[in-house]
Amino acid sequence: MPNPSGSSHQQEFEEFAHARAGQLYRSAWLLCGSHHQAEDLVQETLAKVYARWRRPFGRIDNPAAYAQTTLTRTFLGGKRRRSDGEQPYADVPDQAVTDPATGASVRVALLQLLAELPPADRVVLVLRYLEDLSVDEVADRMGISAGAVRNRSMRALERIRGLADDSLRIGKD
């Protein structure tokens, strides 16, 4: 029997947040390209999910998908704000290129290419190809049509191909 104080909801949410935080952070980092911004995005996302979680009649059917959708829409909404251009001083991605054997240089190059894209295009590529979601799932999470996802995906991939150099080729000497 649920506790009238709502502690069972609290405990359920804490378990959910603990289980999903890593995945949400990974997506946020791919979208933001910054550890600090990714942490902020995950915190904001979990706060929004918690607000919905607490509603007595607002049960979330698929909490993982709802959290991912919230993260995506929060990221896109944040890109519309002027203050989004702030960069933490200590966040220097160029220092991460240290061990090519682990693929760090490829990850950094990919993040730099993603950073060149408009936010909506970046979201499409991250969700579609890095999170391995279907076109319909991406469309649903972004609140756009499947055709728009396909168009954005095609244009974003063309743009990345134009920006990419030989540094992303695997097996390069």
| Residue range 70-124, pLDDT digits in tens | 999 999 887 655 454 555 555 545 444 444 445 677 777 788 888 889 999 999 9
CATH number, domain with residue 52: 1.10.1740
**Residue 70's domain spans which residues?**
1-82
Q: What is the CATH number of the domain that holds 148?
A: 1.10.10.10
Whole-model pTM? Answer: 0.63
38: left (phi over 0), alpha (psi -120 to 50) or beta: alpha
Max Cα–Cα distance, the chain, nearest Å = 64
Q: What's the gap between Cα 137 and its chain centre?
A: 14
* CA–CA gap between residue 172 and residue 12 (Å, rounded): 48
Total of domains in the chain: 2
Using pLDDT thresholds of 50, 70 and 90, give the confidence band for residue 40: very high
The pLDDT of residue 103: 65
Q: Which residue has the higher pLDDT, 56 or 70?
A: 70
Structure tokens at 113: 């290419």
